[in-house]
A and B are shown apart, each in its own frame.
Chain A
Amino acid sequence: MSWTALLLLAAAAWAMKAAGPLVLGGRTLRPDVEAALGLVPVALLGALILVQTVDGGERLVLDARVPALGVAALLVWRRAPFLVVVLVAAATAATLRAIA
């Protein structure tokens, strides 16, 4: 990969991140616009959780990530600390893959 392509990608990636903060800035938004923007990360994170669990690159895959997410959900529901949730999820997937 050329440095030009790399720097182009970096500039584009930054521009997308910075567009909102630079254009909207400290402006006060209409309450309904603010409510809509507040729901954007929620919708995207909901999608990210499931897609990262079943994405097999152009198809859906059910593997050790699914029971790992199930265990994580149980722990989150029982209000376990963040680190415990993440480590137990990883350990669950690792154990299932080691057995399989």
Chain B
Amino acid sequence: MRRPDPVLRAALAIGLATGAYAVSYGVLAVAAGLSVAQTCAMSALVFTGASQFAVIGVLGAGGSAAAALAPALLLAARNGLYGLALAPVLRGGRLRRGVEAQLVIDESTAMARAQADPHGAHRAFLLTGLSVFVCWNAGSLAGALAGEGIGDPRALGLDAMFPAAFLALLWPQLRDRATRTAAGVGAAVAVALVPVAPAGLPILAAVLGVLPGLRALRAAAPTDDPADAP
């Protein structure tokens, strides 16, 4: 039997990890006052975990829905940046691109960018996006139905899964100085902002890492003056 290919295996692994985390989302969402239907609708329609946790965090602490929207939108805004980067990867007409755009999240972006060619990138994006979508929604429903009594995801180390997964996805992309600079400066900017900025903003601000990354890229690239061509 052929071994399943690494992209499919990674997509399934990410799906299972997020599914396990979705169970805790479902539990907390119902505890924060959402109905089971709302808990599931949010996973299917909003489908961006950080924003969903922000909403139930505010609601659970007694805040209004209006107060929950601001941090949720700030956390969702990074998907806008991913969408820009993934625009060449998404295929087909406007309708298909609009539908596939629902799958633009951290995990699908990271998997797509880790592939060498555009076809592989689109396949990795779809496989990861669908795997996470199915598991995230199944986990949300399970958690919403199970209610309290499910263990703390931190005790299982589930919160440590995500940085490890993203590290495994980012590592192969750090081939040159430009990408290493962008990642390093982005990470430094974000961590520096965590204590002072509202949730979501530190990750958005990491986009500043692109500027020194571009400078490194220009420094490494030969000039495109045609006179230099052989």
Contacts and interface: CB of A to CB of B under 8 A. Distances in A.
A94 B203 contact: no
B157 A89 contact: yes
B227 interface: no
B203 A21 contact: no
A38 B116 CA distance: 12
A32 B167 CA distance: 26
Contact of B189 (A23, A47, A86): A47
B79 A13 contact: yes
A3 B76 contact: no
A6 B76 contact: no
Given A21-B101, A22-B101, A41-B109, A50 B187 contact: yes
Contacts of B84: 19-20, 24, 37, 40
Contacts of A86: 13-14, 17, 161, 164-165, 168
Given A9-B69, A16-B79, A21-B83, A39 B195 contact: no
A40 B104 contact: no
A9 B55 contact: yes
Nearest to A88: B164
Interface in A1-59: 1-3, 5-10, 12-14, 16-26, 29, 32, 34-55, 57-59
Main secondary structure on A side of the interface with B: helix
Interface in A65-100: 65, 68-69, 72-73, 76-77, 81-83, 85-86, 88-95, 97-98
A48 B199 CA distance: 12
Interface residues of A, number: 74
A68 B98 CA distance: 37
A16 B66 contact: no
Contacts of B9: 81-83
B36 interface: no
Interface stretch (B132-140, B141-149, B178-186): B178-186
A2 B195 CA distance: 31
Contact of A46 (B72, B77, B154, B182): B182
A28 B207 CA distance: 22
23 contacts: A9-B46, A10-B46, A13-B79, A17-B82, A18-B83, A34-B88, A36-B210, A40-B85, A43-B183, A43-B206, A48-B162, A50-B163, A50-B187, A51-B203, A52-B163, A57-B199, A64-B160, A65-B160, A65-B163, A72-B167, A76-B167, A89-B164, A92-B160
Interface of B: 6, 9-10, 13-14, 17, 33-34, 38, 41-42, 45-48, 51, 55, 59, 65-66, 68-69, 72-73, 76-88, 90, 94, 97-98, 100-102, 104, 106, 109-110, 113, 154-171, 173-174, 178-179, 182-187, 189-191, 194-195, 199, 202-203, 205-210, 213-214, 217
